[in-house]
Structure 1
Amino acid sequence: MMKFSLTIDRQLDEGSVDVVTPVIDATVTAIEELARQTDPAIPRVIVGYSANQARILDFAECLAFFTKDRRVWVATSSGTWQVKLRLYELENFLPRTSFVQISQSAIVNMDAITHLDLSYTGTISVHLKNDMHFFVSRRQLSAFKRALDI
């Protein structure tokens, strides 16, 4: 069971959330996600660009973010869109309960994963709903397994 402590300090300009825990578990992740959702500085949608179109995309419809030709793209079920943010910027505000970085060049939505291909020796191929696939890098392998509880 987790202890809960609340301190009200009217002299503060803004609130903060401090969590002290021996391990990062589902409860800690949920608390972090709730704190992020209430932060007005964190966007809830992202704009994707394709040719002469701009489309507002909710994070739930984003299957993966990836780099190609020195640009960052977002894959959705309706197509691929270029975004103006870098992957490290996206990683700072994407919901960690849904998205996981699998390599230096890709972040995937865990809800979009259809299956994992383990036939490659020492690597995992992640297949998404839109038939795209990405490889999990060795550096991100343990974080990926933790995110999926495998």
Structure 2
Amino acid sequence: MKIQIDLDPSHEELEIIIRTKEMTEEVQHILKILEGGPIKQIVGIADQQFYLLDFKEIYWFYSGGRKVFAQTTKGNIEVKYRLYELETSLQREGFVRFSKSTLANIKHVKSFEMSFSGSMCAHFSNGMKEYVSRKYVPLIKEALNIGG
């Protein structure tokens, strides 16, 4: 997927154009996000039960085996969104990309530890830790409003 942004003061309003060869599931998901606005409620599935998850109870989302899961105060729960959908919609809720397969709630991070390799280790309020790949360290620094 290729994304272009054209910033020009002469534009009167926001216009979104999707160019594609055919209507795919990915395009339908993007349309659903654009039409529906931000995600307001996350529904998770675990042990054949549905859970309504509050953003405050989610430590991070991660992908594995073509599925997306939420690490929550209730444990690991499968969600029916893709990481890029969650990233786009939950940015205002404090979720930041840690790696290609992880999107974390920065509000649950107690501390960050820099490594010699340029990556970071995030220590969460639940005692767990998750690593931030070098590629995403600048995004974390921006989210925390720290330079360098």
Question: Would you say same fold, with TM above 0.5?
Answer: yes
Q: How does 1:47-126 map to 2 (within 5 A)?
A: 47-126=43-122
In the alignment, what sits opposite 1:137? 133
Cα–Cα, structure 1 residues 70 and 130, in superposed 2: closer, same or farther, change >3 Å? farther
What do residues 68-101 of structure 1 show as CA deviations (whole Å, max 9, x unaligned)? Answer: 2232110111211011111011112114351111
Q: Structure 2: any 5+ residue segments left out of the alignment?
A: 1-12, 15-34
Identity %: 35
Name the aligned partner's letter for residue 66 of structure 1.
Answer: Y
Question: What is the Cα-based RMSD across aligned positions, in Å?
Answer: 2.1
Question: Are 1:42 and 2:42 matched, yes or no?
Answer: no
State the alpha-carbon separation in 2 of the partners of residues 55 and 45 from structure 1: 10
State the alpha-carbon separation in 2 of the partners of residues 105 and 121 from structure 1: 19
What do residues 39-74 of structure 1 show as CA deviations (whole Å, max 9, x unaligned)? Answer: 853321111111111101122221111112232110
Aligned residues: 115
In the alignment, what sits opposite 2:10? none
Normalised by the length of structure 1, the TM-score is: 0.68
Name the aligned partner's letter for residue 130 of structure 1.
Answer: N
